[in-house]
Amino acid sequence: MTIQSLLRSSIFLSAALLLFVAGQSQAQVVEEVDIGREEVQLRVDITDAIERDVDVANTALVFNNTGRIATTVVCVAFDGNGDILGRGRTRIPSHGVKYLRASDLADGVDFIGSAVCKARGRVTATAIFLAPGAITDVNIKQRRQNRSTHMRFPLIATY
């Protein structure tokens, strides 16, 4: 690489970073909430969805830490327009399971949208839609990058 191409690349990266920071300062600030629900509560939620005539539908975002040390999963929920609706996090012990509900990420607001989550280390995720009288799994996309796991939940809902 020539000095000119390196200089051009650094100027481009600096401009992109400034635009990103400027956009973030204008974006709505949403507090990240530490939630972390135990797997025992997930069993109760599933039973409630199947056996009871409830008027609530919710999505459980379930995380399994497959690593040897505890890790934290951080999630951001987006509404149908792509606006940030809320943030949440949960700490997962080594080889443990924790989950968040879509309603946790949205502070109880009804919505249909998506969520993006990230964790350091090895985490396997799944999503379960808990509807009145039924449950179903929901597709997710996840990838490992360096020492972290990135998870996208393309469709989550609570109403």
pLDDT digits (tens, 9 = 90+) for 60-110: 999 999 999 999 999 999 999 999 999 999 999 999 999 999 999 998 899
pLDDT-based confidence at 1, cuts 50/70/90? Answer: very low
Look at residue 29 in the predicted model and tell me its pLDDT.
55
Tens-digit pLDDT profile for residues 5-59: 433 333 333 333 333 434 444 445 566 667 778 878 888 888 877 776 556 899 9
Tens digits of residue pLDDT in 112-150: 999 999 999 999 999 999 988 788 999 999 999 999 999
Q: What DSSP string runs through 61-115? A: EEEEE-SSS-EEEEEEEE-TTS-EEEEEEEEE-TT-EEEEEHHHHTTT--EEEEE
pTM: 0.72
At 39 the pLDDT is: 79
Predicted pLDDT at 136: 92
Q: Which residues pair with 111 in a beta bridge?
A: 158
Residue 25, C-beta contacts closer than 8 angstroms, at least 6 positions apart: none
